[in-house]
Amino acid sequence: MRASDRVYAVLREEILAGALPPGTVLTEVEQGRRLDVSRTPVRGAFTRLLADGLVRSQSPRVLVVSEISTERVVQLYELREALETQAAALAAMRRDADRFEPLRIRMLDAPRLLELGEEGIAEYFELVDALDRAIDEAAASEYLSVALESCRLHSSRVRRLSSHNPERLREAASEHLGVVDAILARDPRLASHATHFHLHRSLTTALASLQAHEPPPTAPHPTLSQPSPSEGILST
């Protein structure tokens, strides 16, 4: 692995895991010293992190880990709704039962995993990632998969907001099972709606977690209302 690839992989994982929280300042000199590389591979890694949107530029050689704000989360979920509901519908039309039946069995075991503490929660999130990959492959749309990959990069940061909410994790496991059942039933409309419902519930939880830790806003934040089956995540 090239030095720049290694630096990128380390920094990316640390940002996604929260080891480098929003607002953390990253400099070429400091990261090069910490990771025992020259500034050149660090600069290459910084360029890729900027392209990912995981950091923003403060100066030519100084980056700051991007914030997870209410506005950014809402925008992310607007995109997720458009992409993931379509992917679920396509997966329901094109799915291979041999791929989703084992996932259903594993998802039925999710409540037990969530009782096992951090290791169980980590295993549950690996299962969710496996479901995402199965849906992407079943949808069989290269352009959709590329868009979803970028979207899920940021979703993994937001997902951490519910990782210590046991009730929400149990609800999410049930919602994921509903998506799998709809795909296995070859019901694209139900698969799309089940995905939409899951995303709305996840967004509501993420916003509540953010607003509990944010200072009072100087301007009103976007508000949510419970969508009907024919509405999107946000009311218009």
Task: Please say whether the beta carbons of 134 and 88 come within 8 A.
Answer: no
The pair of three-digit structure tokens given for residue 235, joined into one six-digit string: 């009311």
Angle (CA) 206-143-5 rounded to 5° is 75
Note the Cα 3 to chain centre separation in Å.
27
Same domain, 169 and 193: yes
Same domain, 53 and 116: no
Is residue 199 domain-resident?
A: yes
Burial class (CB in 10 A: 0-12, 13-18, 19+), 69: middle
pLDDT category of residue 234 using cuts at 50, 70 and 90: very low
CA nearest to 132, candidates 119, 117, 144, 115? 144
Residue ranges making up the domain that contains 35: 3-65
Task: Please say whether the beta carbons of 16 and 163 come within 8 A.
Answer: no
pTM: 0.81
Task: Please say whether the beta carbons of 175 and 105 come within 8 A.
Answer: no
Put residue 69 in one of left, alpha, beta given phi > 0 → left and psi -120 to 50 → alpha: beta
Task: Please say whether the beta carbons of 118 and 198 come within 8 A.
Answer: no
Question: Mind listing the pLDDT tens digit for each residue in 175-215?
Answer: 999 999 999 999 999 999 999 999 999 999 999 988 876 65
Burial class (CB in 10 A: 0-12, 13-18, 19+), 7: buried
CA nearest to 197, candidates 85, 70, 111, 83? 85
Backbone angles phi, psi at 117, to 5 degrees: 80, -155
Lowest mean pLDDT among 97-101, 105-109, 145-149, 218-222: 218-222
Q: What is the pLDDT, as a whole number, of residue 14?
A: 94
Same domain, 126 and 160: yes
Domain-ending residue, one of 26, 43, 65: 65
Is residue 75 domain-resident?
A: yes
* Number of compact structural domains in the chain: 2
**Whole-angstrom distance, CA of residue 147 vs CA of residue 150:** 5
Same domain, 144 and 102: yes
Q: What is the pLDDT, as a whole number, of residue 41?
A: 94
Q: What is the pLDDT, as a whole number, of residue 227?
A: 52
Put residue 36 in one of left, alpha, beta given phi > 0 → left and psi -120 to 50 → alpha: left
**Whole-angstrom distance, CA of residue 163 vs CA of residue 29:** 33
| Cβ neighbours of 210 (radius 10 Å) | 17
Rounded to an integer, the average pLDDT of 212-228 is 52
Q: At what angle do helices 166-184 and 97-108 cross, to 10 degrees?
A: 150
Is residue 35 domain-resident?
A: yes
Is residue 233 domain-resident?
A: no
